[in-house]
A = this chain, B = another copy of it.
Amino acid sequence: MALRDAKDRILDAAEDRARLGGYNGFSFRDLADDVGVKSASVHYHFPTKGDLAAALADRYAAKARARLGDPATLTARKAIEEIVSLFRDSLMVEDRMCLCGVFGAERDMLPPEVNAVVARYFEMLLRYLETAFGPDWDGPSPASIVSRLEGALILARTLEAPEQFDSAIGDLVRSSG
C-alpha cells in the first residue's frame, strides 16, 4: 500500500484543514489541490460536502475510540490519563483543534448528518469515562472532564500558550488516583 487510496488522502486533507478553520474553512478545490486531483474527483468520492464532513467526523471518532482502548479494562486514573493524552497530543504534537470541538462550535449551520456524527463522538467519550469510573466514582464527572479538555484546547491555542493547557488540566491528572 505504497500510497493509500484517494478517499483516505482526501479525508486526511479535509481533517487537517477543518481542524484549523472549521467546516467552511476548506473547499473541494482546496482538498483536490492538497491531494493532487481535480475537484470533480473529490465529488466522486463524496457527493456533497455534508457527506464528506460526516465521513470525516466518523473516521475521527473511530480513530479516537481505537486509541483510547477498552474502558472496561482500565482504572479510572488510567482512563483519565488516556483521554488527557489524546487531547494533549492534539495541542502539543498536532497543533490542531479537536475536529468535533470545532464542528460542535459551528453546529447550528452544519448539515444535520454532520451534527449526528459529532454528537456520537461526544457520547462515546462520556461513555468511555463512565465505564472506567464505575458506579462508585465520586471524582469529577465525565462531562466536566470532556468539557475541560475541549475548552483547554481553545484557550491554549487562542492565547498561543500551550502551558495554559496544563494549567487547565493539571489538577485533573494529579487528583485522578
Q: Which residues of chain B are near A168, meaning CB under 8 Å?
A: 141, 143-144, 146-147
What is the CB-to-nearest-CB distance from A84 to chain B, in angstroms, rounded to a whole number?
Answer: 12
Question: A47 within 8 Å of B by Cβ?
Answer: no
Tell whether, in the assembled complex, residue A109 and residue B25 are in contact, meaning their CB atoms are under 8 Å apart.
yes
Query: Contacts of A141 on B, CB cut-off 8 Å?
Result: 167-168, 170-171
| Minimum distance in angstroms from A24 CB to a CB of chain B | 3
Copies of this protein chain in the complex: 2
Distance of A25 Cα from B143 Cα, bound (Å): 28
A159 and B119 within 8 A (CB) = yes
Residues of chain A touching chain B, judged by Cβ–Cβ distance below 8 Å, are: 20-25, 97, 100-102, 104-110, 115, 118-119, 122-123, 140-141, 143-144, 146-152, 154-155, 157-160, 164, 167-172
- The answer for the CA separation of A147 and B24 in the assembled complex, in Å, is 24
Tell me, in angstroms, the Cα distance from A169 to B143 when the chains sit together. 8
The main secondary structure of chain A at its interface with chain B is helix
Chain B residues positioned under 8 Å from A169 (CB to CB): 144, 147
Q: Which chain B residues border A167 with CB–CB below 8 Å?
A: 141, 143-144
Q: In the complex, what residue of chain B is closest to A147 when comparing beta carbons?
A: B151
B150/A143 in contact, CB under 8 A: no
Please state if B21 and A106 are interface contacts (CB–CB under 8 Å): yes
Of B22, B122, B157, which one neighbours A159 at CB under 8 angstroms? B122
Query: Would you call A152 and B151 a contact (CB within 8 A)?
Result: yes
Measured between alpha carbons, how far is A149 from B109 in the docked complex, in Å? 22
Partner of A21, one of B21, B109, B160, B170: B109
Known: A144-B168, A148-B147, A168-B147. A155 touches B104 (CB 8 A): yes
Asked if residues A106 and B102 are in contact (CB atoms below 8 Å), the reply is yes
